[in-house]
Amino acid sequence: MSTYSNIISVKMASLGISQQQLAYYTSIHTNRLSPFLSGQKDLDAVSLTKINDALASLEKLAEAALPWPIDFRRVVEVKRLMEQLRFGELDELIAVTHSATGKLAPAEALA
């Protein structure tokens, strides 16, 4: 198993998502994901970027939703949230939630 596929597998496990769910979130067919995640084949840079972006979005959604868990099996709804996150439509909601829970918003944490 390559280092990158191992990192992706660890992130998938921490989020509790399956290969099928990752395939849906990235639009990369499981026939391409499975050999990559098992270390049998490499993926092109575009596919790796899609995976990285999707996992980063899912991690951000999971963090923003704390203490409530997100059911990543609800792929249609979660993918809609990922799009809203990408277009900045959730920024204000995340900031208000962080303010209400006493957590720092990501920009404040870096300051």
pLDDT at 103: 62
Q: Average of pLDDT values for 19-32?
A: 96
What pTM value is reported for the model?
Answer: 0.80
Give the integer Cα–Cα distance in Å for 62 and 81. Answer: 11
Single out the residue of 68, 64, 52, 67 nearest to residue 12, CA to CA: 52
Q: How far apart are CA 66 and CA 62, in angstroms?
A: 6
Q: Which residues contact 60 (CB under 8 A, 6 or more apart)?
A: 85
- The residue with greater pLDDT, 111 or 100, is 100
Digit-coded pLDDT (tens) for 37-81 = 998 999 999 999 999 999 999 999 998 888 888 999 999 999 999
Considering only residues 50 and 92, tell me which one the structure prediction assigns the higher pLDDT: 50
d(CA 110, CA 35) in angstroms, rounded, equals 38
**Does residue 107 carry a pLDDT above 50?**
no
- Asked if residues 45 and 52 have their Cβ atoms less than 8 Å apart, the reply is no
Q: How far is CA 71 from CA 29, 74, 75, in A?
A: 21, 6, 8
